[in-house]
């Protein structure tokens, strides 16, 4: 799997912010999905004692939610740890892992934000635009915005709003379980993104894409130590 677009990665903070503002206009917020047979989860884990990091991709069959393929890439941190600019640190190793795949995912769920971001261009949007693939931002915590508490039943949600704009939904994936934060990444609507996260979360708070890739990347990072 290869990127469809590119940009320089050796950027300072102000240059990275400028790129986010420019590329945010490329995000497509409507459904442009084909038949979704394979869905992937991506994640990056960091070694707390060094600049080592590890990225992983796990591809699942959308009907069985069984793992079809995994890919791992080791790397060093090449961009500083700056809130709001994580994609510049994490996408290079994620790209390396995606390039190793034999199975091309039709949809990617990112452990992070999409347009629920100060410049409407979080990791899920950045990755989606680069690869021109539908992506969903699925965060465990909120980055920005305000929302009421959603209902306590699986599937209940409340709009996440920033500066008068709905930038995501706070979604309850299981009854009486802490909600998660869903936002458009690229080539998908917010309602469809939430439908997919519910489908991918049959038993647990987090979707299987996130749960499975988290386990893979943690084991891989432990093997580097």
Residue 47 in marked binding region:
no
Distance CA 24, CA 91 (A): 16
Tokens 């591809």 -> residue = 59
Residue 43 in marked binding region:
yes
Q: Enumerate the known binding-site residues.
A: 43, 111
Specify binding-site residues for Mg(2+): 43, 111
């Amino acid at each position: 799997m290869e990127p469809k677009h590119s940009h320089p990665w050796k950027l300072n903070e102000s240059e990275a912010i400028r790129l986010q503002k420019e590329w945010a206009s490329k995000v497509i917020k409507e459904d442009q999905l084909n038949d979704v047979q394979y869905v992937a989860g991506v994640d990056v884990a960091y070694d707390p004692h060094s600049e080592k990091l590890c990225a992983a991709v796990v591809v699942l069959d959308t009907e069985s939610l069984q793992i079809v393929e995994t890919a791992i890439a080791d790397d060093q941190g090449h961009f500083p740890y700056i809130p709001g600019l994580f994609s510049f640190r994490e996408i290079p190793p994620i790209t390396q892992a995606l390039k190793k795949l034999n199975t091309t995912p039709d949809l990617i769920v990112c452990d992070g934000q999409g347009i629920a971001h100060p410049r409407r261009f979080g990791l899920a949007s950045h990755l989606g635009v680069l690869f021109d693939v539908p992506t969903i931002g699925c965060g465990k915590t909120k980055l920005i915005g305000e929302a009421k508490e959603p209902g306590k039943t699986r599937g209940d949600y409340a709009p996440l709003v920033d500066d008068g704009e709905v930038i995501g939904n706070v979604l309850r994936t299981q009854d009486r379980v802490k909600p998660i934060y869903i936002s458009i990444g690229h080539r998908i609507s917010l309602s469809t993104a939430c439908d997919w996260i519910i489908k991918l979360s049959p038993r647990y708070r987090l979707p299987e894409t996130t749960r499975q890739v988290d386990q893979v990347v943690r084991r891989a990072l432990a093997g580097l130590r």
